[in-house]
Structure 1
């Protein structure tokens, strides 16, 4: 599934550098590759074994090539990271917009309208997503029925590439209600892989919140090579508080919001036109629908 990316800051269409694109093509587009994927790469034990290397001092040599490949801030090379894992989960200064509903993570975002029929829409067009000859819906993502309050709201899909900052924050003030862990595999969430199937079958952590913008469902989705999702366990939180981080690998975050939140028009327009919007953690992406928040 190939989508274009629009940089929100510049308005330009950008091309994303794909890491190990040839390997991903082999895994998803050949019989042998799919066998290897099923029995090795998508298993949690494989990610855990790989994490042993990334946490070792031997992995430090990977940092320089990684920074160069993704044209990252060269000042990162001057810091004394003990391992590649230490580099990947680094903490950076995050600027939080003082008002509105802010971006939970840095990466690429796409937004879908949730219909009264529980379907996902881009503008007036309803998506029909088939997975293993079954129609995909939000209930399959949650593994339980979608709450009534979510109908008429939005589903926000954040896609984090390897070069993105892999820590994430709370987007608004609120309180924790409950959480669930959903066991699963670790499929890739790359655009040319089994995009929606991954969200139906991957390991994920789900939290339900009461917030200043109404109820929200927040979900971290583990992807290939992501052995761990590390979450803080806050009973109450403020906009910009750190919620957690991912271990090495591409990852995704899904948020389901109700009618109390309106998403900024440029992001909605980009989504309807088939674009992901490149955003930065902490920037405003929406506002309270009562215009007061």
Structure 2
């Protein structure tokens, strides 16, 4: 590890957040971004190879939403309807009655994420962020309209039908880096976020998955559930 960054910058962060660096591949860190995108040793993020088990794509704080016509999702302090989120009315409609899972990553989380099943992937769709005042002439009050930059792809999975997998970044931070893949295996790395807090959103169609009860109960009381990449979060409905 670069001695200056280790002693004066990164080491206090490691200690404050109780990060066990023995779990990560040894490398020199020449910037915060190097540290932020560090890679964990595979044995520290095992995953179930059972085809009916849905795994978490990332270390994160998870919230569950059932998808209804009037559902609004809170993502990075902004509210979205499903159509707003996807900018695609027809695609949004196909997920009515399904499940939305929001994985919120914070700076102390591992910022790489994986595929949740075997399958093939369509091209990424990038939606730039929006940030402006709604009413800039109203005295001293300036309501803000904001939508974050996001990228989503449609995954044709072997066991969970077509899954929308979306990465969300802030306007100035949380750069999204996806690997160029058209086919994938469960547990394989999909990409990573560069420096900044970030979020993953997954949409599953109706009658495909039963999410674990503790996640549902926590979400009903507006509590997030801490999960690790590869951890079981649900099972395929049979």
Same fold (TM over 0.5): yes
Structure having the larger proportion of residues in helix: 1
Cα deviation, residue 103, structure 1: 0.2
2:176 aligned to 211, 229, 233, which one? 229
Q: Are the equivalent residues in 1 in contact too, given 2:54–2:235 (CA < 8 A)?
A: yes
Point out the structure with the larger strand share.
Answer: 2
Contact 2:115/2:184, CA 8 A, preserved across alignment: yes
Q: How does 1:1-293 map to 2 (within 5 A)?
A: 59-60=5-6, 61-75=8-22, 79-83=26-30, 84-92=32-40, 93=42, 94-99=45-50, 100-115=53-68, 117=69, 119-120=70-71, 136-145=80-89, 146-184=91-129, 201-212=147-158, 213-223=160-170, 225-226=172-173, 228-259=175-206, 260-290=208-238
Normalised TM-score (structure 1): 0.65
What RMSD, in angstroms, separates the aligned Cα atoms of the two structures?
2.7
Aligned length: 211
Q: Is the 8 A contact 1:108 1:158 kept in 2?
A: yes
Post-superposition shift, 1:78?
10
Check the 8 A contact 2:129/2:171 in 1, yes or no: no
Shift of 1:71: 1.4
Question: Can you give the 5+ residue segments of structure 1 that lack an aligned partner in the other structure?
Answer: 1-55, 121-126, 130-134, 187-196
Whether the 8 Å contact between 2:62 and 2:101 is mirrored in structure 1 is: yes
Q: Distance in 2 between matches of 1:65 and 1:163?
A: 12
Distance of aligned partners of 1:82 and 1:141 in 2 relative to their CA distance in 1, 3 Å threshold: same
Change (3 A) 1:80 1:136: closer
Change (3 A) 1:109 1:227: closer
CA distance in structure 2 between the aligned counterparts of 1:221 and 1:242, rounded to whole angstroms:
17
Specify whether residues 128 and 281 from structure 1 end up closer, same or farther in structure 2 by C-alpha distance, changes over 3 A only. closer
Deviations 1:157-179 (A, max 9, x none): 01000000000000111111232
